[in-house]
Structures are given as C-alpha cells and as structure tokens.
A and B are shown apart, each in its own frame.
Chain A
Amino acid sequence: MRLFHTGLVSCVAIVATFAGFQPILAEDGDPASVATQIEGTWMPESYSPRLLTIGGETPPLTAEAAALYRDRTAQADDPDRQYDRTRWCAGAGIPRIMLLPYPFEIRADGNYLGFIHGWYRWHRMVDMSGEPVDPILWQTMGYPVGRWLPDGVVIDTVGISSETVLDEFGLPHSDEMQLTERLRPLEDGTLEVTFTITDPEFYTKPWETVMTYRRVDEIVGDDVCPDRLVTGEPAVRRALP
C-alpha cells in the first residue's frame, strides 16, 4: 500500500514537470557486466555535515519539518543531543550511512547486492530477485530491492525507521520515506550515487542529492564503535581519513 501511495505521488510529480527527461529504466542491464564495474571498496570523495539538494539548497521541508530541523540544529553542539542516535553507536540508517566519511564494499552474488559498510560493520543486502518490496517492521536500513540497469543499478528502499536522521544536524524524515538510489560508474573510475527522497509528510516534493565515491584498494576492516566510546573518542568521525 505504501508503494501504491508513493506511485501516486510520483505520478503527480511527473505531471508537474517534463524537463530533462532521461529514461533510465528502459531495459534491464546484464548483472555480470555491471557488477564488475561497481564491485569493490569505495570511499566518499567529500563529506559535508549538512545535507543539501543536488542544486546546493536546503531540501524542501514542510513548515513543520523545517521547525523540527531548526530545533535540532540549535542542539547540534550539545554533546548530549538526543536526535542523533549514531552518538551512542546505534544505526545511522540509510541513506546517512552512505554519506558518512567511511568506506564501504559492494559485493554481488545470486539475488543479492551486498553493501558492507566501514562504520561499525553495518551491512545491507539488496534483494535483486525482482520481487516487490515486502516490509515487516521499520528498521534503520529499511527493505531494499534493486534492479540491474544497462549502466548501473537502481535501489528502492522503504520501511526506514524515522528514528534515523539524514545529516549531522538532524534533517528529519518520516516512516513513509521512500529512498531511491541510482548507482552509476563514471568514465573517470568513480561511482556516482544519486539519492532521491520522496516523503510527502516531511517534504513538499521529491528531492535529490548526489555523492561520488573513489575506489580504494582495501577490505573494510573491523570497526567496533563501542570500543571508541570507552576511550572517549566520538562514535562517528567528522572528516575523511
């Protein structure tokens, strides 16, 4: 039902604009060919504590969500801020874990596209079987389903717990958020991921942000967040290594 609702919202968005249309879902891609281009370990090329749209603007928050974001932003320097669960090593959730200054690995096999994240060894297994999404209980990584494209992958995720936030300042989302990630290897060897967030409860329209990642020659190692906390280190670093 959630998917149906999102689809209706999307239809409205389509009516609203036809500019720059590029049919990215014209045909399925060859998994083996695409997988070889996106498998490996990736590191963000940049890190920003504040998440902006692809055009560099504040996302189109509803009035209520904007007030919540202002309130959280005012607490951002408080060491006991309560909105950011990563502070005590709880799950960053998606998409935030893709935005943190940590590496992640992509591995493909069978029906799964696996993401092994460098922060506290979270993982998510994207179901590539082609079945519709089937969320049970909300969880921080949601329920991702993906599809191979000729030049990359598209992943749709719903069922993402609203206890997670989108940036260090607590950019909010609702339990009804739908996230679409479009992964595309670029000619310069980097990986581009465009994130589309559709969340009518908190945003007046769907919006996008984009990240690029560079390949790094390493296996994601042990990262045990509670071991940092006991030495007084922050749970999440705030800059690229």
Chain B
Amino acid sequence: MSGRSLASAIAHCAVTCSLLVAGTPGWAQDSTSAEVQISERRAEDPRYLGGLWRIERFIFLIDNAPMLPDTQAQREEFIQAMNGDGKILYTAWTSCRPGAPSSMVMPMNSLVVLQKDDDLTVSFEEPRMTRRILMNAEHPADLEPSYLGHSIGRWDGNTLVIDTVGYNGQFQIDSFGMPASTQLHTVERLTKSSDGRRVVVQTTFDDPEHFSAPFTIERAWVADDARHQQEYDCMENPRAEEFVHTYFVDDLYRPACVSYQGEGMEPSRIICRKPEEQTELLRQFQERQ
C-alpha cells in the first residue's frame, strides 16, 4: 500500500472511529451550515440559481402551438399511431437523444445549476443532458448545428434570459412528436421567487418551418434539499418487446442495439447491428412471439 492509500484508509478508519465513539462522523458536522448557506444565498441573491432543483410538475404535451397545416397533419398521424394503433411513439427523448427543448418542455426529476460569472452549467437528470449558457456572449456566425444548440444569457433585471439557436432539428419538442427544424429559436426567461424557493421558466418557441407564430409555455423548478441526483441510464435495457410495438417518428431513432429475451432459463442478450439488420432481427423475434 502506498502512502496515499494508507492515508485514505486512515480517513476511513477515522470515520469508523468517530462512528464508534460519537455516533456521527466528524466531517458531517458542517452539513447544516452548508444547507443554510445555499438556501440563504438563493434567498438573498435574486440572480443566484445555483444548486439542486426539482421539476415542479412533469408535463409532456404542448397544447398551444399554432401549427402550420403540414405540421398539424403529421401530428395527427402520430396521435393516430398512439391512440388508434396502440403504438409507443419513439422520439429523440425516448431513443436517448438530448435536444435542449426537451429540458424546457418535459424535464423530469431534478437538475443542478453550477453558476459562474461568465456561464451557467445546467445538468438535467432526465432526459440526461448538460447545457452551457454563456453569459454576455454572442452567437458565432459559423455554428455547427447540434441537439443542444448554442445558448447565450443575459440579465433583464433579475430575470435570466437565455437565447438559443443552432439546433440540428433532429428532436421533437414534446412527447407527441411536435417537430422542430434547424430554424428553431428559443428564448427562455427564468425568474426566481422572492424566497428563493421557486423558479418560473417561460420559454418562447419560434420556428417558421412548423408554426405560424411564436408561442410560449411555462414550467417551474422548486428548491430541493436533496444532495444527489438519481441517474437516468436511458440505454441500459433496449427491450425487443418494446420495439415491436413502436412507431418511429424518424428512422434515425430505429435501434442499433436490442435486448432479446432468452428462451427458458437463458439470459437475455443484447445484440448490436446496423438498424436495417436489426429491423430484420426484430421481425424474426416478433414471429416467434
């Protein structure tokens, strides 16, 4: 054992000893003050958003978008697949892709904000993604389109305004397959309550390829004293049973890796192939069912 691991072991031993002697590890004594500091800072500084927040309510539908006729027709096709044919709708969200608008429309569980003078880092639990908001910056002229786009922030009084462009259009903005294009432009306005315990997030979507006018939705975060996020390991179990009842909003979302249940006592096996080969394997699987 090297010196460093010995020292580490001593630290663990010290914890054990303190448990034995006092019932509480010594390094736990500052916990209350740490919680108070975060709560106080959130309450005292209306521009501080740091720490762990919980999504107030999971909402997965946009019901006020002024869709253009083609967009409306496509949405009705998706709704028919779900409600009429009983299919699971596979979008970017369900196929384990990020897409920053998913964090604006249908985030789940928790998020953590790390706030610096020059930027904010926002890590969402589900769907898992980390966004970076650059403060007092400009969008570059030569943006490469991406799922997360390019986000810049500024303060309008005590409201944080986040402007994002540069999307790749490979995601949907709600769980009913509401589409987005590379022309999508989002503006989020985040305003914290006076007690520092709630943040209202208003997001305006503008995408002339799909909507006749901009529209705005509202979500909220609430303060949470939890210390750890749970994790969302979206790709851990790509079950064949699910894929054979799936309607893919885009061929991109067809699976490359699928978990096939073993026969009898055999364990399941995850097989990765190109999606076109996997489609044939899934067809054979379905025939065996």
Contact = CB atoms under 8 A, between A and B. Distances in A.
Nearest to B129: A121
A112 B4 contact: no
Interface stretch (B186-194, B205-213, B249-257): B249-257
A57 B112 CA distance: 39
A3 B148 contact: no
B35 A89 contact: no
A135 to B, nearest CB: 8
A206 interface: yes
A184 B177 CA distance: 47
Interface in A204-237: 205-208, 219-222, 224-227, 229-232, 235
Contact of B114 (A11, A80, A107, A206): A107
A171 interface: no
B264 interface: no
B274 to A, nearest CB: 5
A131 B227 contact: yes
B231 A7 contact: no
Interface of B is mostly: mixed
A104 to B, nearest CB: 11
B19 A227 contact: no
Contact of A82 (B8, B114, B121, B270): B270
A88 B6 contact: no
Contacts of A96: none
B7 A226 contact: no
Contacts, number: 226
B269 A82 contact: yes
Interface string B113-135: 11110000101000011101000
Interface residues of A, number: 80
A185 to B, nearest CB: 15
B215 interface: no
Interface in A104-163: 107-112, 114, 116, 121-123, 125, 127, 129-132, 134, 136-137, 139-141, 143, 147, 154, 163
B182 interface: no
A170 interface: no
Interface stretch (B58-66, B81-89, B91-99): B91-99
B16 A224 contact: no
Contacts of B9: 10-11, 13-14, 198, 206
Interface of A: 3-4, 6-11, 13-14, 16-25, 54, 79-80, 82, 85, 87-91, 107-112, 114, 116, 121-123, 125, 127, 129-132, 134, 136-137, 139-141, 143, 147, 154, 163, 178, 180, 182, 194, 196, 198, 205-208, 219-222, 224-227, 229-232, 235
